[in-house]
Structure 1
């Protein structure tokens, strides 16, 4: 058994929700193999990444579906089987019908249409073109829109026609360039449409159902569901024609082999048991000769019932509707086989699906009363709905029957009686109403008093809270005032210290420059401005080595580095320079460390003084 891959299952769920293709019933091994083949073609490593590709590139859906839905078909594929179908199935079937009776054929999984046109040629041979056009309907369905588009054109190349007999080619095809086109007058009897065998409703009253090499791609559970729908589709005595790779050995209750070698099977008729269910696992022969027509009698009795009834299978499909339901709700035999949830009746005038589920789970009748339903002409009727579970003799659930009883007349009589009672009670109700109004007014006044008392208490509480907040704000304001006074005192002292330091630097006759540990200039006195022509606001913040003055500062770097490292200068340094007037001078430079506590060096003080001649 193929292990379940959560990412792959998530991919299948996305395909179903995004594009309506339900591949969850396909065999995982072959399905994963085909998806992996497509992933290799576009170089995608895992299913989660491929899901991202599908979300971003919608055109990838087409390539993926073409890979999954391998459309292998052809005209007269397996000629021996088709000859048998012609001579032993179609000819006797048509011979047993009245001359004007319709012939209904379904080609399920028709791919590009060769199979459907093969059926058309065989039936045209048997009936003749005129009778074929009047009596035959061939329904050809598939889930692949691209294949259906090709089939609708009915045009094929020479390679596609290699298995068509020469006389058939002359009679049923017209040449158009290098293409062979099926006859247009016969083409109108071949109807192509999209149908998902897993999800969509089957086509009913079919005489021959051809589904070749399609079932093998589904798992056993899905095959059983599809075969059950095929059984429903086929008319009494209808024939199912499968492909070589498909067997029905485990479905003897639905189909019996006509020719096992050629995979031809005939529908097994199902009887209707006494509890009203419409499906049974095995055909039940009538116990006595006089009850041969019992199935038809029961069906006709159901259809003619004066009460609207609808029967739904255990898996939610519409199984039967009678004439009253058809006239009342607009459902018809075309809805048989459709999911009940797809009918408007499932949720209007009342949500019935939850009651159906309740009846199925609890195995007892559910009842919905007082339901108003507006019919097509605007007429409003009142319904009472009963949902009865249908249980087999072995207690297995077969489905439910919905019975819609028209209680409009009873409802009208009940309304008239209630109206009379209301008129008799009007006087008492008016007096009672007056009394109640007075009581209500008293209660409202009492309530107003209580609300005012409550409001007063809330206002008192709010006032106390505001007083507390006012006290807290006053205390905070006092604290802020103290802090502001302290800051003002500190600022005054700092201003005095700065003024004192500025006076010292200004009074010095030598130029003074203070640099930090990062060699950024922090102080620059008036004498330094006079020497080099660089104002204090231009010098402060500059890197010592980037100063554009007449002093070769690069010669001072060792001396400054020594001071920043805590070393003392033993001798002043005499450096040639150019003052602000452009004259060559000699400058005497002394550099000392700047320390905060005689231990921590925070910078260096550079003193620059012009040497006097002869000194």
Structure 2
């Protein structure tokens, strides 16, 4: 690895530690090309200098992530593939499900949400709008928080909506000024959240999982880990929907193609994906009678259990497949733990962190040896061997724990004896050397004492200077502390004054910032809607579930945030906290800071 490659890896580590984005699994060629594009825009030639720039300019992270995460998406991208998904997957799924059974879907790498809302529209056509509202949950995830925020608002311009068939656009979108918003009553069926496919745990019990044109940016090893998570996430018989540039040629043990042209795959059961069966000829020789296969399995299990060496078998999905009696004696792993995630067992990290070595054995497809592992009063030699058939993906790993305590003790005794002999010889030699050097040390002592005296005088002068500097710094700190105390008292007074005003106003007052996060909620607002201030502050205004149709306030707030000096006003029909129908007059004014809108003030009166 040359200097540039090392600096690039250090940049990836910095991104992971500073912002939690793990790009180490991405293909290096395309990743380096995109980072270089951003560095060229800043006229930075060296990766190390770019790391320094990121530390000084935190806003640069956003620009870099937008460059790396190519969020190319649209409604009904590749219409033929979506038609095939509807005919071959969604319609049979609707027929097979009970009328009240939930339908769970996952849009992985959803970007700004077009793919997730496309799924919602297709299910609305297959199941009906009412069933979409009541039975369907679409989990849409991405690593880019900025894209997720755009997706949650569910508003798109006319150019983006043009990809939606006109009859569906009319049925599922509402005009919102110059843009179009996905119907709010159906929007609740789509749940957005951040999920890193490389690091985070997958969502479970999924019927259909779409991940289009995302896997192609990862290395083959990272793709294998992600596909193992997808296999775990999907329910039995679940469907995986990929992009045109992606295929699963090397993962046929987990997924079966049902429409190769449109990249639609069906999840194979765990027994097929991770199991093992001996060759047919061997099975025929072993099966003497109708219970032959059963007898062979029993013999295999008995041999495993009776082995004098502790053994544990873990599947490629990270689940415990087998363990023997010695493993139970050493680590407490028994038949009750079969099927559990290996990472949940103490042996996965104690006496040594095994999960890292398991990943290494699977990725490199070679046996990993660990020596002199201390476990209580014994020493173990651990062997981690990948289990695979031919050139196929590994089925899992076999962990073998060999007790080498006796050998270790013999080796320690031998090493101790050798050290004692060497020590005796060295002591004889050192005695002579010490006598020779004693005279030299006595002569040098006088010189050292003279030097020490000079150093003490110099140190005394430095201490006097340091004391003066500390005294000056102490005075400055006292002055700064007094100014800070006065500023704090003024701020507390201002806050108390503002709270008193908001509390005694007869109207409900709500203050939001530019992102529509609630910053103030007075007592009259509590009386109107039954929502306490500590429950409302910090929430997004348009996400509140109160008797006021808050989504209709969007144009009024946008007008105030746009800098309109005159207050806007509207009247809305609502239901107060007592369940009584009322008419509310809502006035909205901009909250300015040096003439610039930083938020909006809503005044609500019955």
Per the normalisation by structure 2, the TM-score is 0.51
- Contact residue 270 and residue 284 of structure 1 kept, 8 A: no
Unaligned runs of 5+ in 2: 299-311, 323-336, 362-366, 401-441, 447-606
Distance 1:12 1:262 in 2: 34
Per-residue CA deviation, residues 438-487 of structure 1 (Å, 9 max, x unaligned), is xxxxxxxxxxxxxxxxxxxxxxxxxxx9xxx9xxxxxxxxxxxxxxxxxx
Matched, 1:7 2:2: no
Match of 1:221 in 2: 221
Q: SS where residue 73 of structure 2 aligns?
A: coil
Per-residue CA deviation, residues 344-368 of structure 1 (Å, 9 max, x unaligned), is 96899x767469979996699x997
Q: SS where residue 112 of structure 1 aligns?
A: coil
Match of 1:75 in 2: 75
CA distance change for structure 1 residues 192 and 284 in 2, over 3 Å: closer, same or farther? Answer: farther
Deviation at 1:269, TM superposition (A): 2.2
Deviation at 1:130, TM superposition (A): 1.9
- Contact residue 351 and residue 374 of structure 2 kept, 8 A: no
Per-residue CA deviation, residues 300-332 of structure 1 (Å, 9 max, x unaligned), is xxxxxxxxxxx99477945689xxxxxxxxxxx
Match of 2:105 in 1: 105
Match of 1:241 in 2: 241
Distance 1:254 1:69 in 2: 28
Distance 1:202 1:155 in 2: 28
CA distance change for structure 1 residues 355 and 161 in 2, over 3 Å: closer, same or farther? Answer: closer
CA distance change for structure 1 residues 394 and 27 in 2, over 3 Å: closer, same or farther? Answer: closer
Deviation at 1:282, TM superposition (A): 8.8
Per-residue CA deviation, residues 487-543 of structure 1 (Å, 9 max, x unaligned), is xxxxxxxxxxxxxxxxxxxxxxxxxxxxxxxxxxxxxxxxxxxxxxxxxxxxxxxxx
CA distance change for structure 1 residues 261 and 139 in 2, over 3 Å: closer, same or farther? Answer: same
Deviation at 1:270, TM superposition (A): 3.1
Q: SS where residue 5 of structure 1 aligns?
A: helix
- Contact residue 207 and residue 234 of structure 1 kept, 8 A: yes
Match of 2:126 in 1: 126
Match of 2:581 in 1: none
Q: SS where residue 271 of structure 1 aligns?
A: helix
RMSD: 4.9
Match of 1:231 in 2: 231
Deviation at 1:283, TM superposition (A): 12
Matched, 1:279 2:274: yes
Per-residue CA deviation, residues 409-446 of structure 1 (Å, 9 max, x unaligned), is xxxxxxxxxxxxxxxxxxxxxxxxxxxxxxxxxxxxxx
CA distance change for structure 1 residues 194 and 85 in 2, over 3 Å: closer, same or farther? Answer: same
CA distance change for structure 1 residues 37 and 313 in 2, over 3 Å: closer, same or farther? Answer: farther
Q: SS where residue 244 of structure 1 aligns?
A: coil
Distance 1:145 1:357 in 2: 33
Distance 1:96 1:265 in 2: 18
Q: SS where residue 250 of structure 1 aligns?
A: helix
Unaligned runs of 5+ in 1: 273-277, 299-310, 322-332, 371-386, 403-464, 470-615
Matched, 1:398 2:393: no
Match of 1:269 in 2: 269
Matched, 1:141 2:141: yes
- Contact residue 253 and residue 282 of structure 1 kept, 8 A: no
Distance 2:18 2:265 in 1: 36
Match of 1:60 in 2: 60
Deviation at 1:185, TM superposition (A): 1.8
Match of 1:260 in 2: 260
Q: SS where residue 141 of structure 1 aligns?
A: strand
CA distance change for structure 1 residues 2 and 357 in 2, over 3 Å: closer, same or farther? Answer: closer
Match of 1:195 in 2: 195
CA distance change for structure 1 residues 314 and 98 in 2, over 3 Å: closer, same or farther? Answer: closer
Distance 1:282 1:224 in 2: 23
Match of 1:24 in 2: 24
Match of 2:167 in 1: 167
- Contact residue 256 and residue 266 of structure 1 kept, 8 A: yes
Distance 1:195 1:7 in 2: 27
More helix by share: 2
CA distance change for structure 1 residues 218 and 284 in 2, over 3 Å: closer, same or farther? Answer: farther
CA distance change for structure 1 residues 211 and 78 in 2, over 3 Å: closer, same or farther? Answer: same
Match of 2:96 in 1: 96
Deviation at 1:193, TM superposition (A): 1.1
Distance 1:281 1:209 in 2: 27
Match of 2:210 in 1: 210
Q: SS where residue 257 of structure 1 aligns?
A: strand
Deviation at 1:20, TM superposition (A): 1.6
- Contact residue 2 and residue 28 of structure 1 kept, 8 A: no
- Contact residue 106 and residue 206 of structure 2 kept, 8 A: yes
- Contact residue 73 and residue 115 of structure 1 kept, 8 A: yes
Distance 2:198 2:62 in 1: 20
Match of 2:413 in 1: none
Distance 1:114 1:2 in 2: 42
Distance 1:282 1:140 in 2: 38
- Contact residue 11 and residue 47 of structure 2 kept, 8 A: yes
